[in-house]
Amino acid sequence: MPSPNSFGFQPLRSLIVRAITGCLIITGSLAAAAQTFPDRPLRLVIPFGAGSAVDTIGRTIAAQVATQVGQAVVIDNRTGANGIIAAEMVAKSPADGYTLFMPNDGILAANPVLYAKIPYDTLRDFAAVTLTSTVPLALVAHPAFPAGNVAELLAQARARPGAIDFTSTGVGSAQHLAMEFLIDLGGVRMNHVPHKAMGQALADVVGGTIPIMFSGMSNVIGFVREGKLKLLGVSSSKRSPAAPQWPTVAESGLPGYSYVAWNGIVVPSATPPAIVRRLHEEISRAMNDPAVREKLSTLGFELVGDGPEAFGQRIRDEVARLGRLVRAAGIQPN
Report the topology of domain 36-134+261-329: D-Maltodextrin-Binding Protein; domain 2 (3.40.190)
The reported pLDDT for the residue numbered 32 is: 54
Confidence of residue 9 (pLDDT cuts 50, 70, 90): very low
Checking if the pLDDT of 25 tops 90, the result is no
Residue-wise pLDDT tens digits, 64-88:
999 999 999 999 999 988 899 999 9
Any idea how long the chain is?
Answer: 334
Checking if the pLDDT of 186 tops 80, the result is yes
CATH assignment, 136-234: 3.40.190.10
Can you give the pTM of this predicted structure?
0.79
Query: Which helix H or strand E contains 96, and what residues bound it?
Result: none
96: how many CB neighbours lie within 10 A of its CB? 16
The reported pLDDT for the residue numbered 133 is: 92
The reported pLDDT for the residue numbered 31 is: 54
- Average pLDDT of every residue of the chain: 90
Looking at this protein, which amino acid is placed at residue 211? P
Instruction: Choose between 15 and 227: higher pLDDT.
Output: 227
Mean pLDDT of 189-200: 91
Distance of alpha carbon 142 from alpha carbon 130, whole angstroms: 36
Print burial letters for 241-278: b (CB count within 10 Å at least 16), e (below 16).
Answer: ebbeebbbbbbbbbeebebbbbbbbbbbeebbebbbeb
Instruction: Choose between 50 and 309: higher pLDDT.
Output: 309
Residue-wise pLDDT tens digits, 289-334:
999 999 998 887 889 999 999 999 999 999 998 888 888 888 887 6
316: how many CB neighbours lie within 10 A of its CB? 14
Residue-wise pLDDT tens digits, 112-167:
988 989 999 999 999 999 999 998 899 999 999 999 999 999 999 999 999 999 99
Residue-wise pLDDT tens digits, 235-290:
999 998 878 899 999 999 999 999 998 999 999 999 999 999 999 999 999 999 99
Alpha-carbon Rg for the chain, nearest whole angstrom, is 24
Q: Write the DSSP assignment of 55-83 as a string of letters.
A: HHHHHHHHHHHHHHHTS-EEEEE---GGG
Instruction: Choose between 215 and 169: higher pLDDT.
Output: 215
